[in-house]
Amino acid sequence: MLYEIQTYGKDVLRTDTKQIPEIDDSIKQIVSNMFETMYAAEGVGLAAPQVDKSIRLFVIDLSPLEENEEKRVFINPEIYAFGEEKGEYEEGCLSLPTIRETVTRPTTIRIKYQDLDGKLHDEAVDGFLARVIQHEYDHLEKTLFIDHLSSLKRSLLKKTLNKIASGEIEVEASENFEL
């Protein structure tokens, strides 16, 4: 089942997310639907708030871009350390259609999370995967990638953001992979 992707201006994108107390069949179904929705929108990551669910969950599949990657599920994640080195990359977001901007983020992180089987993981992550995880994790923290931009950049985007919020610009499949 495809979910409707929530776009800029929707309250759920700025709402606190709750821990998932138990990984049951309903959570597994949400994960399945999130992957289906992400693939239909040609994204590589999708967080629960983007599909109107205020829970601590996101999914990622970098396999279209990196051959050693596969789809991954992050339940109740916690990024608890950031590396000092930073890198820039042009990001987009399914919840912010048509907007692409360069964002500076740490190139390495440490993250704890559960997978779909409830197994606990504690990983050091770097490169593009670290960036995508940070982008999706931000959604769980009520943050959008535009929040990392300068106030000048955000003010230049105001007209487009207002069009997204009013529904004039909608989510469409993109030629570029969106997070």
What does the pLDDT read at residue 85?
97
Cβ(148)–Cβ(157) below 8 Å: no
pLDDT recorded at residue 68? 82
Instruction: Give dist(CA 48, CA 62) in Å, integer.
Output: 18
Ranges of each domain in the chain: 11-165
The sign of the CA dihedral 49, 92, 5, 107 is negative
Q: How far apart are CA 132 and CA 125, in angstroms?
A: 10
Tokens describing residue 64? 């279209």
Q: Domain 11-165 falls in which CATH fold?
A: Peptide Deformylase (3.90.45)
Give me the catalytic one of 4, 42, 123, 136.
136
In this prediction, residue 30 carries a pLDDT of 98
42 among known catalytic residues: no
The one-digit pLDDT tens for each residue of the chain (179 residues) are: 999 999 999 999 999 999 999 999 999 999 999 999 999 999 999 999 999 999 999 999 998 888 888 899 999 999 999 999 999 999 999 999 999 999 999 999 999 999 999 999 999 999 999 999 999 999 999 999 999 999 999 999 999 999 999 999 887 654 445 66
Q: What is the pLDDT of residue 176?
A: 47
